[in-house]
Amino acid sequence: MNGTGLSVVNMDSDLRNRVIRPTQRILTGRVVRFMDGYSREVRIGQPVLVAVLTAASVAGLLVMLVRTVLSSLGGGGARRKWKDLKKGPEFLVTPLRVRDDHGQLYEVELHGHLPQSAVHPSDWVQLTLRPQDVDLPPRIERIVNLTTGQLLTPRTATVWSHLGPPLLIQAVLGAVLVLLVATAVILT
């Protein structure tokens, strides 16, 4: 006991059990606990969205013209609204606690999904980390489960998967159409 009435041993153990954020790129340790996951939204840059939708609209106008002329084709699927596209996809974020061989407890974030049997509490893992915003712990880019020998890469939704192949194909066709028309105008 010291003069304050607190045990020095308790203070040391409290400091030792504090959760810290790792600053190194590679962290090796034992998985202590998976915290409750929550969803986070991917940010979509407005210039990217405007460019894709503008190019897709050009091809959409051509398709609409063909449908009007032929009129035998039924209406296509419902188009997603600007608000829905701008919102961006959501992905799962699972905070993870890892203890290294020195007894330090670290918190990192796992973005996306892994197979349920891929990592368990008490597995020995090597994590490759990427820093995020100042307020957030680093996120896991790659996991090597040293207990099972598995190499794991969590996958999340991207801007391109959110926009979807039909819209992206339509945007590419629209951009090609605009380039063809611009080339024809310049050459004539």
Q: Is there a contact between 89 and 39 (Cβ–Cβ < 8 Å)? A: no
DSSP code, position 58: H
Of 121, 157, 143, the closest CA to residue 28 belongs to: 143
All structural domains of the chain, each given as residue ranges with its CATH number in brackets, are 26-37+95-152 (2.40.50.580)
Global pTM reads 0.57
What mean pLDDT do residues 138-165 have? Answer: 83
Query: Distance between CA atoms of 23 and 163, rounded to whole angstroms?
Result: 34
How many Cβ atoms from other residues are within 10 Å of residue 142's Cβ? 14
- In tens, the pLDDT along 102-141 reads 889 999 999 888 877 789 999 999 999 999 888 889 999 9
What sections of 29-164 are H helices per DSSP?
46-70, 82-87, 159-163
